Amino acid sequence: MFKKSIFSQLFFYTVIAILCSFVVMGVLMYGLLGNYLAEYKTDDLHYVADSLADFTVKLARRNPNYAKDHYQMNLDALSISTETLIVVLNTSGDVIAATSGYENVVIRPEFYSGVMRGERMQDIGTLGGVFNTTTLTVGVPIQFDENSTFGGVFVSLAMPEIHRLRSGVLHIFLISVSSVFLVALVIVYSMSARITRPLKALNNASKAIASGHFERRVSLPEQNEIGELGDSFNKMAESIEHLEEMRSSFIANVSHDLRTPMTTISGFVGGILDGTIPPEKQHWYLSIVLDETKRLSRLVTDLLDLSKMEKGNFPLEIRELDINELIRLTIIKSEKRIMEKDIRLTVNFQSDCQRVLADKDSIQRVLTNLLDNAIKFTDEGGFMDISTGITDKNKVFVSIQNSGIGIDKEDLIHIFDRFYKSDKSRSLDKNGTGLGLYIVKNIMLAHGETVWAESEPDSFTRFNFTLKPAPPAKRTNEKNNA
């Protein structure tokens, strides 16, 4: 099936629109011009008839014995100069004078009776069979005064003459339109090509990206919506390229994180079963197997939760809780690791009890992930600061800061992206998959709150998030009940 390009459709429909406009303009012009010429010629005929009627009245008053031959000569001269047919009747309908050759013309009473009563007359037709073609005829009375009519002047002009004039004007119009149309074709072709050229570039770039060339970009110099579309396309391509890099990194990380514990588990279990590992050491090796199993379980849980979050199927049970107490419990769970790295921990709460409205399990997970990251990246003998309080906007904030290598600016803007790991060498983050902070961000978004990171390379890293405080009235009621 023939594939229509945007260029051909744009060019075709624009040309059709121009042609239709010219046709409508021509039809309207033809009709309006006909009416205008008819009215214009009617006025001319009335002028000729009035002039001859006035001449006849003046002649009758001044020189009643004026020779008929001279009057006929004047009438013929007027008829020739105006290209009209003139007939002068008396009140009985008899021809007094007429354009040479029409002396015997007979006009029926229904056409001249009104004129003899002092009325003006206009007719388009054959004048009751007087003419063989459609003719425009006007009649005016010849009067000494308003109550004294002694004849009438009838002036006729064949309609083909009007049509000839209209056709002449229309011919000039068609020549002009043809010239304009040719110029319009060139302009439309150029404009269509200019409009579709960037679209074609976008299409080619899209095909390239679809084929796996994620580095492809477009360069559109237009300073309009198409230029903005090009910028948006490039940003989308950058996001896709970045996502593909994260996906590749994620596959490599997950493969590594799955293979390593599974290799460890299968090796130790095999050693126990075949007797390679002596009974007195089996408990120690089984504890390692248990740790690796928990590691696999955490990885699977993260992946399942990630799938739920992306599908919007991650329900929250919002209730009131003490965020300070939740932080204390999280610190206790990580106390062993903190002591092993000799980390100086400082906790600063603005108040002993800081009640918030949140999902306890989700916030517990946020705290665990952030505290785990802080411990992981804090150098030996470094420090950690944890604080909570109220912001100027009446939000509860939680801040977890640690010393260490920090995060570079180019990594900081991607730190909450899924599968992203700033420690690409895996020298510190050996067990991470790049999902922890992405899950943290999504949990906070589900709460309608924000989370952000601040860092100074080779100095510190600080993660902050906000929560909605519990209503004061509710806290007061609980104290009263207690």
Q: Are 332 and 294 a contacting pair, CB within 8 Å?
A: no
Phi and psi torsions of 444, nearest 5°: -70, -35
For the chain, the structural domain boundaries read 6-164, 225-310, 318-481
Q: Which pLDDT value is given to residue 429?
A: 52
Write the DSSP string, 157-184: EEHHHHHHHHHHHHHHHHHHHHHHHHHH
Q: Residue 329: what residue type?
A: L
The set of residues, in sequence order, having a beta carbon less than 8 Å from that of 52 and lying 6+ positions away, is 75, 78, 86, 88, 153, 155
Angle CA(78)–CA(83)–CA(87) in degrees, nearest 5?
60
Assigned token pair, 448: 């309608």
Residues 6+ apart with CB under 8 A from 462: 399, 400, 401, 402, 453, 454, 455
Mean pLDDT by 10 residues, the chain (482 residues): 64 82 78 71 88 87 76 89 90 89 88 90 87 88 84 87 70 81 82 76 81 79 74 82 74 71 84 85 86 79 73 81 94 90 93 92 91 91 94 92 89 79 51 74 90 91 94 56 48
The CATH class given to the 318-481 domain equals alpha beta
Within 8 A by CB and 6+ apart from 116, the residues are 91, 141, 149, 151, 152
Task: Enumerate residues 6+ apart whose C-beta is below 8 A from 428.
Answer: 376, 377, 405
Q: Which amino acid is at 198?
A: P
3-state secondary structure 256-291: HHHHHHHHHHHHHHHHHHCCCCCHHHHHHHHHHHHH
Query: Which 3 state secondary structure label does DSSP give 24?
Result: helix
The CATH topology of domain 6-164 is: Beta-Lactamase (3.30.450)
CA 175 to the chain's CA centroid:
40
Its pTM stands at 0.48
Q: What is the pLDDT of residue 476?
A: 46
Domain 225-310, CATH number (from 2.60.40.10, 1.10.3720.10, 1.10.287.130, 2.60.40.180): 1.10.287.130
